[in-house]
Amino acid sequence: MTDDDILTIDEVAKYLRVSGRTVYDWAQRGEIPSGKIGTVWRFKKTEIEKWVNDRLSSNKAAGQFASVQVGNILSPDRVIFLDFEAKQDALMALTENLSQAPQIKNSRELTREILRREELMSTAIGRGIAIPHVRLVSVTDLVVSVGISRIDIHDFQALDDQPVRLIFMIAAAYNQHAYYLQTLSFFSNRLKNAELREALLAAPDPGAAYTLLCSQT
């Protein structure tokens, strides 16, 4: 086991975009996978990833999905095809695309925080999907870009060890915590549909992929 396999409260808080106190309280109440080494809380990276993915995929959030309208947070020009073998190249291309949205006021910060977030913990959730996401003060409203890769991206280190082909990048304003989590849950749940994933991968152009995603709301 390497040092990267074990996370501190601050590292988990940064990953989840919550306060250290919130993570501490969750650990105390047994609501998040954790354990004590001596007198301090520590968290296993793989267990936190699974915990997050389980929460994102929870059917308990199904009742909230109706208020997520894809057409309000995505546009055809923010659906792009990718042709990169490395996740960093794919993420850079997608942040460049997302930075063109008027809601993004600091493209450098977006790129820096997306890459930093990915270094801390993979955003690949399995089934060939990754959902990189950040909340930033410099973002004025939640916005999404979608990358459809024509080739497998193997270095996302997904929990199921499957290469990534679909990347949904979400940037939200810092005060949009509830809507941000709701949007994460929405895409995670919708993309369980194998037919939708296959149709997106086979889409002949960005407009067709955009239409598919809007039709799933």
pLDDT of residue 67: 67
What pLDDT score does 47 carry?
87
Do both 48 and 102 map to the same domain?
no
Contact at 8 Å (CB) between 164 and 124?
Answer: yes
Shared domain for 90 and 181, answered yes or no, is yes
How much is the pLDDT for 39?
80
In this prediction, residue 65 carries a pLDDT of 44
Domains identified in the chain, total number: 2
Whole-model pTM: value is: 0.73
With H, G, I as helix, E, B as strand and everything else as coil, classify residue 63. helix
What are the distances in angstroms from CA 117 to CA 120, 124, 197? Answer: 5, 12, 25
Q: Print the domain residue range for 188.
A: 65-214
The CATH number assigned to the domain holding 17 equals: 1.10.10
Q: Same domain for 114 and 148?
A: yes
Write down the pLDDT at residue 202: 96
What local confidence, expressed as pLDDT, does residue 57 receive?
Answer: 61
Q: End-to-end distance of the chain based on CA atoms, in angstroms?
A: 42
132 CB burial (10 A radius; 0-12, 13-18, 19+)? buried
**Ranges under pLDDT 50 in the chain:** 1-3, 59-66
Per-residue tokens: 146: 């979608």
Starting at the edge strand that comes first in sequence, how are the strands of the sheet with 40-44 ordered?
6-7, 40-44, 35-37
Q: Which residue's entry shows tokens 């923010």?
A: 78
Measured distance CA(127)–CA(107) in Å, rounded: 29
**What is the structure's pLDDT at 61?**
45
Supply the pLDDT for residue 58.
56
